[in-house]
């Protein structure tokens, strides 16, 4: 067991983080907004944690206190939330593909800024971010509660007034407006909640990865998390959770397959480096064959019916 | 006799869609308790007028006064809260949600859940077919049932003024008669209605007064009965 955890601990924590980032993309999608801004807020949260822990708090001896990590997470969440409102208000005037493009631009702006600012360490980034734990797997002490709390909140959200307003806006904005739901208000709210979540996850990730640079939270990451949400399912929060886990693990699985002996060299290389191509193909196939994703609310209903009949 | 109290008054309303003038100098009043009908050809500006009132579109100039207060620049959700409900053209029910969800969303601006529950029961009394199908997805209802749902949903906000856009659109004559008999019943309960309808004869028969819209302007107005007998109206709209 210990051997397994030390080999796969890193991957397991990454999968939980992937699930959380999937959810941060799912939140704006609840109101029908295709936003790819999550990786930008993720990067921002990571830089906030990296800068605070290496330059402000400076704990030199022993393990870094978890309390400070939690404080960094809160600060990252607040800053991401404020930026989320500021970006959300103008960006959410756009719809569909135009919003997607605008949010990609936002992620790029943050990336270029972090490459060129001194405080973010330029192209080198920030390294030697202090560790609150001895082994990677222990990050689950933060990641799992965060995922559970987020899932419980989303479960509740999908069942209260606010969630109904989100769904109504996704289905028919004009009808929602005619019913007295203010679409702009709720769209900005959903976008901001997604931003906060991504920022908080970024703060944890910075410690987890030990270094933080402009390669974190790029356009590539947007596509990966978009895949996990689209394939996982866009109608219930369970979809992005499963999708986020599966698609974080997928590159590792592909790498393992590539290592099997006897594969032609080109295929092995494609499995290792063709990740984005594979994800792209999956998005296309997924939207054709599973337009609502693999996990749909009907799936649960069917399960329930089956149980009640037997 | 006192002059009737205007519930809604539109003064010199102009609406543009891009470069096109959709409405020009619209003046219109709806008194409390009345059923007022807007008739006109396709594209004359009937739906645009309703959308301007419920604030789903912005007028270029003019004034919309409701209960003595200027709502021309108020956001749509505030207008709903003030008691104006809009049942939009094409019904616009939320297809993936149940009948019950749709109705509850209609009461979105209200917070007293006991009252909302009572109104929900009332809708099921008026529309027994919706009660039978309360857990069915709205998208699986027939056109007539969807129209009833749209109507019931609008009533869930407990409106003082109900804006009805083309309730007969695409429905079989028997269903249309049913819908209009419900509209007449509503009127008896004191809901004021501004009705947009292609079926001019039916609309005028159910209304007190009417306005005729042509290419974004009001060309004729009067008592519904007089409009029904007007030569011009008969020729253009009653066939």
Considering its fold, how many domains does chain B have in total?
Answer: 1
Q: Is B86 on the interface with A (CB under 8 A)?
A: yes
Q: What is the pLDDT of residue A303?
A: 67
pTM for the complete prediction?
0.86
Closest chain A residue by Cα to residue B87: A178
Helix, strand or coil, per DSSP, at residue B17: strand
CB-nearest partner of B54 from A176, A178, A182: A178
Question: Mind telling me how many Å the CA of A183 is from chain B's nearest CA?
Answer: 9
Q: pLDDT category, A257, cuts 50, 70, 90?
A: confident
Q: Which of B56, B77, B86 should we substitute to test contact with A (largest number of A Cβ atoms within 10 Å)? A: B77
Measured N-to-C along each axis, helices A38-51 and A183-209 cross at an angle, to the nearest 10 degrees, of 50
Tens of pLDDT along B87-100? 998 889 999 889 99
Nearest to A130 by CA among A77, A76, A73, A66: A66
Question: φ, ψ for residue B85 (rounded to 5)?
Answer: -110, 140
Which residues share a beta bridge with B163? B86, B194
Does A276 fall in a domain?
Answer: no
Asked if the model's pLDDT at residue A308 lies above 60, the reply is: no
What mean pLDDT do residues B184-209 have? 90
Does B111 fall in a domain?
Answer: no
CATH number of the domain within which B206 lies: 3.40.50.300
Closest chain A residue by Cα to residue B94: A171
Q: Would the CB atoms of A171 and B88 count as touching at under 8 Å?
A: no
Q: Is B100 on the interface with A (CB under 8 A)?
A: no
Does A114 fall in a domain?
Answer: yes
Does A42 fall in a domain?
Answer: yes
Q: Would the CB atoms of B108 and A171 count as touching at under 8 Å?
A: no
Question: φ, ψ for residue B45 (rounded to 5)?
Answer: 115, 15
Largest alpha-carbon pair distance within chain B? 51
What mean pLDDT do residues A178-207 have? 94
Does A57 fall in a domain?
Answer: yes
Question: Mind telling me how many Å the CA of A51 is from chain B's nearest CA?
Answer: 43
Distances in whole angstroms, Cα of residue A308 to Cα of each of A299, A301, B62: 14, 11, 60
Taking contacts as CB-CB distances below 8 angstroms, the residues of chain B near A174 are 56, 88, 92
What mean pLDDT do residues A174-202 have? 93
CA separation for the pair B225, B35 (Å, rounded): 13
Give me A184's structure tokens. 């702009």
What mean pLDDT do residues A257-270 have? 83
Q: Would the CB atoms of B56 and A178 count as touching at under 8 Å?
A: yes
Q: pLDDT category, A8, cuts 50, 70, 90?
A: confident
Does B148 fall in a domain?
Answer: no
Considering its fold, how many domains does chain A have in total?
Answer: 1
Q: What is the pLDDT of residue A310?
A: 45
Q: What is the pLDDT of residue A7?
A: 77
Tens of pLDDT along A135-176? 889 999 999 999 999 999 999 998 888 988 999 999 998 889
Closest chain A residue by Cα to residue B91: A175
CA separation for the pair B185, B124 (Å, rounded): 15
CA separation for the pair B99, B131 (Å, rounded): 9
Asked if the model's pLDDT at residue A32 lies above 50, the reply is: yes
Does B116 fall in a domain?
Answer: no
Nearest to A206 by CA among A73, A92, A95: A73
Does A263 fall in a domain?
Answer: no
Does B114 fall in a domain?
Answer: no
Does A272 fall in a domain?
Answer: no
Helix, strand or coil, per DSSP, at residue B152: helix
Range of the domain at B220: 6-94+159-238
CA separation for the pair A111, A219 (Å, rounded): 9
Distances in whole angstroms, Cα of residue A216 to Cα of each of A34, A116, A133, B219: 21, 15, 21, 64
Give chain A's count of helices (H) and strands (E): 13, 0
Minimum mean pLDDT among A229-233, A260-264, A301-305: which range?
Answer: A301-305
Does A199 fall in a domain?
Answer: yes
| ipTM score for this prediction | 0.82
Tens of pLDDT along B90-144? 889 999 889 999 999 999 988 888 999 999 999 999 999 999 999 999 999 999 9
Asked if the model's pLDDT at residue A309 lies above 70, the reply is: no
CA separation for the pair A136, B104 (Å, rounded): 47
Residue B126 · residue B182 · CB < 8 Å: yes
Asked if the model's pLDDT at residue B172 lies above 60, the reply is: yes
Tens of pLDDT along B29-68? 999 999 999 998 888 899 999 999 999 899 999 999 999 9
State the Cα angle at A263 between A262 and A267, rounded to 5°: 170
Does B88 fall in a domain?
Answer: yes
Q: pLDDT category, B28, cuts 50, 70, 90?
A: very high
Does B121 fall in a domain?
Answer: no
Q: What is the pLDDT of residue A1?
A: 61
Range of the domain at A162: 2-247
CB-nearest partner of B77 from A161, A174, A182: A182
Q: pLDDT category, B1, cuts 50, 70, 90?
A: low
Question: Mind telling me how many Å the CA of A169 is from chain B's nearest CA?
Answer: 10
Give me A310's structure tokens. 């037997």
Q: Would the CB atoms of A177 and B76 count as touching at under 8 Å?
A: yes
Does A307 fall in a domain?
Answer: no
């Amino acid at each position: 067991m210990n051997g397994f955890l030390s080999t796969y601990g890193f991957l397991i924590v990454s999968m939980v983080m992937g699930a959380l980032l999937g959810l941060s993309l799912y939140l704006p999608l609840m109101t029908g907004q295709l936003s790819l801004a999550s990786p930008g807020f993720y990067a921002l949260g990571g830089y906030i944690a990296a800068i605070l822990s290496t330059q402000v708090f400076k704990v030199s001896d022993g393990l870094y206190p978890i309390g400070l990590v939690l404080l960094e997470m809160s600060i990252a969440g607040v800053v991401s939330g404020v930026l989320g409102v500021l970006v959300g208000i103008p960006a959410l005037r756009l719809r569909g593909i135009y919003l997607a493009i605008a949010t990609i631009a936002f992620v790029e702006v943050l990336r270029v800024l972090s490459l060129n600012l001194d405080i973010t360490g330029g192209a080198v980034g920030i390294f030697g971010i202090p560790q609150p734990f001895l082994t990677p797997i222990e990050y689950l002490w933060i990641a799992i509660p965060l995922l559970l709390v987020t899932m419980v909140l989303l479960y509740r959200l999908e069942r209260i007034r606010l969630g109904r307003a989100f769904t109504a806006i996704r289905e028919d904005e004009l009808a929602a407006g005619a019913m007295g739901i203010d679409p702009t208000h709720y769209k900005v709210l959903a976008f901001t909640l997604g931003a906060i979540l991504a920022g908080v996850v970024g703060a944890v990730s910075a410690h987890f990865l030990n270094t933080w640079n402009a390669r974190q939270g790029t356009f590539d990451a947007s596509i990966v998390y978009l895949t996990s949400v689209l394939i996982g399912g866009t109608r219930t929060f369970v979809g992005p959770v499963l999708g986020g886990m599966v698609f974080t693990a997928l590159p590792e699985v592909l790498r393992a397959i590539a290592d099997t002996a006897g594969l032609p060299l080109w295929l092995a290389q494609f499995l290792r480096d063709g990740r984005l191509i594979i994800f792209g193909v999956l998005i296309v196939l997924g939207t054709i064959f599973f337009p609502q994703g693999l996990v749909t609310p009907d799936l649960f209903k069917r399960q329930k019916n089956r149980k009640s009949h037997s | 006799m006192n002059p009737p109290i205007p519930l809604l008054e539109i003064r010199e309303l102009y609406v543009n869609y891009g470069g096109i003038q959709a409405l020009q100098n619209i003046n219109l009043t709806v008194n409390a308790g009345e059923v007022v009908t807007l008739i006109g050809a396709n594209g004359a500006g009937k739906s645009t007028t309703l959308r301007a009132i419920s604030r789903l579109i912005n007028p270029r100039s003019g004034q919309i006064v409701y209960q003595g207060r200027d709502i021309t620049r108020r956001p749509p959700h505030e207008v709903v809260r003030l008691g104006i409900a809009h049942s939009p053209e094409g019904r616009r029910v939320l297809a993936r949600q149940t009948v019950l969800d749709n109705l509850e969303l209609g009461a979105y601006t209200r917070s007293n859940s006991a009252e909302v529950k009572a109104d929900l029961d009332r809708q099921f009394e008026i529309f027994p077919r919706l009660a039978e199908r309360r857990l069915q997805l709205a998208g699986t209802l027939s056109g007539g049932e969807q129209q009833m749902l749209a109507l019931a949903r609008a009533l869930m906000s407990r409106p003082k003024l109900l804006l009805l856009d083309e309730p007969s659109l695409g429905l079989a004559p028997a269903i249309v008669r049913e819908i209009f008999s419900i509209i007449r019943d509503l009127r008896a309960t004191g809901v004021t209605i501004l009705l947009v309808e292609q079926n001019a004869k039916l609309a005028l028969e159910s209304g007190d007064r009417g306005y005729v819209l042509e290419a974004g302007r009001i060309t004729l107005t009067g008592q519904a009965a007089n409009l029904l007998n007007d030569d011009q109206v008969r020729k253009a709209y009653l066939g």
